[in-house]
Amino acid sequence: MSIRAKLQDTALSSAYVGQVVHMRKRPRVHRLQYRVFYLLLDLDNLPNLGRKLRLFGYNRSGLFSFHERDHGPRNGSSLRAWVDTQLDKAGIAIPGGRVTLLCLPRIFGYVFNPISIFYCFDDAGQLKATLYEVSNTFRESHTYLLPVENGTDTIVHHSFDKELYVSPFIPMACRYEVALRKPDARASIAIREYDAEGALLVATFHGARTCLNDAFLLSTIVRFPLLTMKVMVGIHWDALRIWLKGMPILPHPIQPSQSVSIIKSPRSLPDVRVRTN
């Protein structure tokens, strides 16, 4: 029996509530922390989710909504088809498998996702690949596709070179080291960014799973009012604070011509940690 058949329809998508922490180590120490919730959405179940939830719209307006044009090729076409195409280019096949996306939804029609993660599972439920979709505040994005060496591991380690200009205070000549927990009762990601001198920035998210239903969505209006707008405002406010500490603004290079980087060697350094319980 496939992993999809074993899951109840209500379990195909869920939500994770937790903390995002950013810590810059040098040349000026700087820390940012805030509470957030993410949705984990099964791409094949999105139409059904949009019909089932009153407060959630799929490719339509709503208090909360998800639009396929906010991700991938950003033209409104099928995200599942786009992911399958990228996997095919990487020589990875998941016939009958699931693809889930960890992301922020639109709230009152607005969203900004600094990072979204696609988890690609085969029919047996083993993680075969991940796509890290990174976006900046200049309306640019870049996706890093990496294979998973052992799909049964709880924690996945990845390493890849930076291709997209993200922060105006961090150079392009950097490398990301990622430790990613496969979503279950918890979801975690830890990203450490290195330049030639060593660790420069650490960003983490740790969250606990909860049911994705109308009651949860309604409660988030009180618990996380205007969350997606606060994310964007918070990024710019934080940038101002960093600039006031004397950090220079680095030039913005041309965006990479290819929107997806397929990484062949996924291994990471062993000192990046995520929670295991």
Asked if 157 contacts 163 with a C-beta cutoff of 8 angstroms, the reply is: no
* pLDDT for res 167: 87
Distances (CA, A) of 226 to 56, 63, 229, 241: 15, 11, 5, 22
Percent with pLDDT over 70 in the chain:
91
Residue range 98-127, pLDDT digits in tens: 999 999 999 999 999 999 999 999 999 999
Residue range 52-97, pLDDT digits in tens: 999 999 999 989 999 999 999 999 999 999 999 999 999 999 999 9
Round to whole Å and give the CA distance between 243 and 165.
Answer: 17
Asked if 231 contacts 205 with a C-beta cutoff of 8 angstroms, the reply is: no
* pLDDT for res 130: 97
* pLDDT for res 6: 43
Parallel, antiparallel, or unpaired for β 260-262 and 141-147? parallel
* pLDDT for res 273: 46
Low-confidence ranges of the chain (pLDDT < 70): 1-11, 265-277
Tokens of 3: 């992993």
Round to whole Å and give the CA distance between 110 and 86.
Answer: 27
* pLDDT for res 246: 79
Round to whole Å and give the CA distance between 259 and 144.
Answer: 9
* pLDDT for res 8: 46
